[in-house]
Amino acid sequence: MNSFIIRLNNKLLKRVRMISGLLIFCFLIQTAFAENKIWFSNKPPSDDKRSMPSGMHGLSSVKGKRGTSSIVQWLRAGTHPITSNYIQLVDSDDFSFYLYSPTHKDSVGEFKESYLMYVSKEEGYYNGYLIIKEVSNDTLYVDIAKAEMLNHSCRNGHKNVQNKKGPDIYPETIPAEIVRVRTLSENFHYFASSGDEIDYQFFINGVPFEGAQLSFNTQTGWQKVLNTNENGISTFQILQDYFSPWQELNNRKVYDYVIFGEITLHETGMYKGEKYDYIHYTTSLSDGYRPAKTMYMSMFWALVVFMITVIISVAGIFIYRLNRNKAYKEVRFDEKD
């Protein structure tokens, strides 16, 4: 009996070890995939002394000759907007780079190992893409980092905004990408705020794709994962994660986020002599958002209420004192009467 129990315990122990090993393996695989996700960031490395924030969206800008400046986006790997690693590519890496101007002109910038750079001339949204391909086992992995950068100066006016605000896609060169769906009233001063509901659309070869997995990640650690609907859209409501005493409130503070889209398709083919039966697309898009408008609008309305209260109080005191100041009346009388 005792030997039977010992054998049974040994079997259970082996199964526990096997399950634990599988869980650890899955965790390592998931971590490895997370670390391999690439994306473009506005924030330069801490040891970079050339870049500084520029414009409404805080894009990294490098000053050039004769007062010109170049916009820079830094290549990173990971899923967290703050702790993700800055990475460098070498010539032996299999990658391709595209940068399109607001008028859809190609090759308006360049990619150098760890960052893309362009000189801002045309007004509107610039779209930059870095594509890395690799065949592993029976799957072709296509990783696409996308940067969407706005160039706008109020000195140029605000004409034809609807024709310049996008979004634009390039299915002839970019097989998969995420776009932020614009709102009808949006202009070049648009900036997302916590609490807003934002639609993101996932495309495969220019066609909205249902069932892709979109993952929204903020710098405070909040994450939400949704699948796209029949129109290729997932709607995310940004979590309110900025809380501060009203005297310290900074409505210009920007929080970073990055969103990833993933899908695996059954498709056979050859890539550089290697056969594959599946294609796994991973694409990214990063941006920022500010504290909810209600955070500082409440201060505005509190100020309005305070001013109205002061005005009513002063007016009340004035009317009261005015009523007490009676006009002088002379009364004459004759003592004989």
Separation between Cα atoms, residue 301 and residue 298, nearest integer Å: 5
- 174-264-268 Cα angle (round to 5): 80
The CA-atom distances, in angstroms, between 83 and each of 49, 86, 208, 256, 257 are 19, 9, 31, 12, 12
How does pLDDT run across 310-334, given as a tens digit for each residue? 888 888 887 777 777 766 666 676 6
Residues 6+ apart with CB under 8 A from 282: 37, 141, 142, 143, 144, 260, 261, 262
How does pLDDT run across 126-151, given as a tens digit for each residue? 999 999 999 998 999 999 999 998 88
Residue 229's CB is within 10 A of a number of other CB atoms, namely 13
What is the token pair recorded at 269?
A: 């083919």
Q: What does each of the 337 residues of the chain score in pLDDT, given as a tens digit?
A: 545 444 545 555 555 455 444 434 333 334 444 457 999 998 888 887 777 766 666 676 666 655 556 888 899 999 999 999 999 988 778 899 999 988 888 877 888 888 888 877 788 889 999 999 999 989 999 999 999 988 877 777 777 777 778 899 999 999 999 999 998 888 888 888 888 899 999 999 999 999 999 999 998 889 999 999 999 999 999 887 666 665 556 667 788 999 999 999 999 999 999 999 999 999 999 998 888 766 655 566 666 777 888 888 888 887 777 777 766 666 676 666 5
Domain assignment of residue 225, given as a range: 37-291
pTM above 0.85, yes or no: no
- Look at residue 5 and tell me if it is in a domain: no
- Look at residue 313 and tell me if it is in a domain: no
- Look at residue 228 and tell me if it is in a domain: yes
- Look at residue 168 and tell me if it is in a domain: yes
- Look at residue 13 and tell me if it is in a domain: no
Separation between Cα atoms, residue 182 and residue 187, nearest integer Å: 9
- Look at residue 262 and tell me if it is in a domain: yes
Separation between Cα atoms, residue 105 and residue 82, nearest integer Å: 32
Residue 163 per-residue DSSP state: H
- Look at residue 70 and tell me if it is in a domain: yes
CB 280 within 8 Å of CB 264? yes
Q: Which amino acid is at 123?
A: E
Of 215, 196, 212, which is closest to residue 204 (Cα–Cα)?
212
Separation between Cα atoms, residue 209 and residue 233, nearest integer Å: 8
What is the token pair recorded at 224?
A: 């939400």
- Look at residue 27 and tell me if it is in a domain: no
Count of domains for the chain? 1
